Structure 1
């Protein structure tokens, strides 16, 4: 498994700062790996806006190794940001208002031309977890079975209550902004790898999607690696929570692969309840009810997380991750989500204080 994290770059006042190009160049001058060279992980990359950068881990088998890689990536990005005159913040949206500056490049310019305000507003940062699969057939079988559980992962990661100076009332406004893309969100079961490929080709043929990389599903077959890529989560404020989301994601993939091998059919056929479950998770995080399989009925968030843990317990036990996941969950319940922490900081120091505290928490 591996983790990609997107971050905000902010100035000393907490306002988004468009210095990604300088940060990436500083990273490469210091001997860091260049983007898109060699195996995945270890680099620092541009994102859609110049106010963002992205890191990725190398593929990891052990959770301890992944945790070290996540922390190293954050430290690497924070150092590059400082060299560019900015700070790094693991915030899924910016609490402070500020401009967006499109990253240079033909593809980004094509996105801006095609999607207009959606691109200009898209200063959002997510956490993407890659889990290896045997082939596309196993990957699609996994996608067809994990969808009803993905909103619980979103609820665990919520880290975007503020949007340009305003408390939105959501725990993840990023998930709302992200779902403005025409190809974003949950998917119904595909049934086969060929059906998945046909769906991708059909969306591109409509002209609504520019290329396979624009399949912004909550979970998809990665267009770059032999993995299932789970994309539903906010970037986590704390590195511990990113590791938790990754461990649960791998366990979900393993559980689904076992179900498919045993002939267990997908537990859902319609996308509408999944959209409702995703909205619910983004609206209230862990503070209210979540919708859980098999019927996607509302239950208190603690019960929903417990149900997810029970669902993947055999896979967590077999990988040796169960005790670590239980410990990470305990810490999360004790301190709250990133959205909880942001709102607590805002009561003490306003939105500039939120960003200042988040910069420290990003590499804590």
Structure 2
């Protein structure tokens, strides 16, 4: 929700077996700050950020400042964890794990925890973060701003320039509902099951510019679209261009914004791999002169709604067939579409493992619901989510535990 920090591309890069330079990728994870005794969000962002730079926290998570940093978000009950950009998912994983550990260590100094949930399991008011920008947004958008307590995963992938970036944005459109479906982790709203796998996406879609976008064709048309939206006087600034995917304003990256923040760090990393592979594949198609899919935005909006409603437990739009299909078939189409890019980057096994886990054990939304059914307590849902948030990644991912760095 903030003016985008726009993760810059790292200097490091790697050439894939196909001769393509491996694109750098960085992610922003929004986490809730909660009181573990009640499961309720705690308006403590200023205190958590202060604790994060203390000597006590530095001793608990040594070296984290080199891998990640923390920022305020729109609400005082949440914190944004921003990774440094990397060319390999192993390096990205170190940043993500260190970021979650840093946020949680700082929160624990206050008797609180940081948890990866797309929406709060418990009901209660949220407080707007103190800033002139957020105050102006509250004045203009009223209850929409006051009710907005949602946590997403934003993935930044490097592109050569704006022309390639627009070529990418135009060609990844039909695949974004599948990314949302795999990430869904926000079934709760106002203390009860919303019936949606991603209630976050439903709430987020109320913003005037949020959601699917028409193909742009050229950077000039993209800028004309942005300028025309700003000229209406509805938006506070260009940071409120909340398309499902957009160009960075400061660096040569595209930012994909559809995903819920996943429960587990390993799923965030795999989703970043999927999104990078989508960008790589789209860029190759653009350079080869392949036209983007002509899927109408009105249809894409319904595909996003379906993904938000069902996750991977119901029909999903299959971009290859152009119609709804079994979720496994649709996700297999995604896997086939980006398979060469995943193989070239060395990410195929990691991504396949995550997809298999989702179909075997459910998305975060299904896990939250299962926890509520078995433990019959919203606080217990939060407790279990905290465990998943800080679950250690096994040796198979070749990621060092940041607490031992």
TM over 0.5: yes
Give 1:276's aligned residue: 302
- The match for 1:231 among 257, 271, 281 is 257
1:92 counterpart = 2:118: yes
Pair 1:333–1:269, CA change in 2 (3 A): closer
Q: Tell me the CA shift for residue 294 of structure 1.
A: 4.0
Please point out which of 4, 8, 27 is paired with 2:52.
Answer: 27
Given that 2:49 and 2:106 are in contact with CA atoms closer than 8 Å, whether structure 1 keeps it comes out as yes
Corresponding residue of 1:123: 149
Tell me the secondary structure at the aligned position of residue 305 of structure 2: helix
1:360 aligns with 2:387: yes
> Which of 241, 245, 265 is equivalent to 1:215?
241
> Pairwise mapping of residues 146-295 of structure 1 onto structure 2 (< 5 A)?
146-294=172-320
- 8 Å CA contact 2:271–2:351 kept in 1: the answer is no
State the SS of the aligned residue for 2:211: coil
What's 2:30 paired with?
Answer: 6
Q: Distance in 1 between matches of 2:269 and 2:364?
A: 14
Deviations 1:238-261 (A, max 9, x none): 111111110000000000000000
- Offset at residue 326 of structure 1 (A): 1.3
Q: What TM-score, normalized by structure 1, do the two folds share?
A: 0.96
Deviation of 1:269 (Å): 5.0
Would you say the 8 A contact 1:161–1:168 is kept in 2? yes
Contact kept, 8 Å, 1:142 with 1:260, in 2: the verdict is: yes
Does structure 1 retain, via aligned residues, the 8 Å contact 2:34–2:115? yes
Match of 2:378 in 1: 351
Alignment gaps of 5+ in structure 2 = 1-24, 59-64, 392-405
Q: Contact 1:41/1:55 (CA < 8 Å) preserved in 2?
A: no
Tell me if structure 2 keeps the 8 A contact 1:188–1:269.
no
Report the TM-score when normalising by structure 2: 0.86
Deviation at 1:291, TM superposition (A): 0.5
> Which residue in 2 is equivalent to 1:35?
none
Count, aligned residues = 358
Aligned partners of 1:139 and 1:40: how far apart in 2?
Answer: 28
Q: In the alignment, does 2:75 pair up with 1:42?
A: no
State how far apart, in whole Å, the 1-side matches of 2:175 and 2:383 are: 33
Matched-pair contact (CA < 8 Å) for 1:112–1:120: yes
Task: Report if the CA contact (8 A) 1:189-1:269 is conserved.
Answer: no
Gaps spanning 5+ residues in structure 1: where?
33-38
| DSSP 3-state at the match of 1:56 | strand
CA–CA distance in 1 between the matches of 2:370 and 2:326?
22
Change (3 A) 1:331 1:287: same
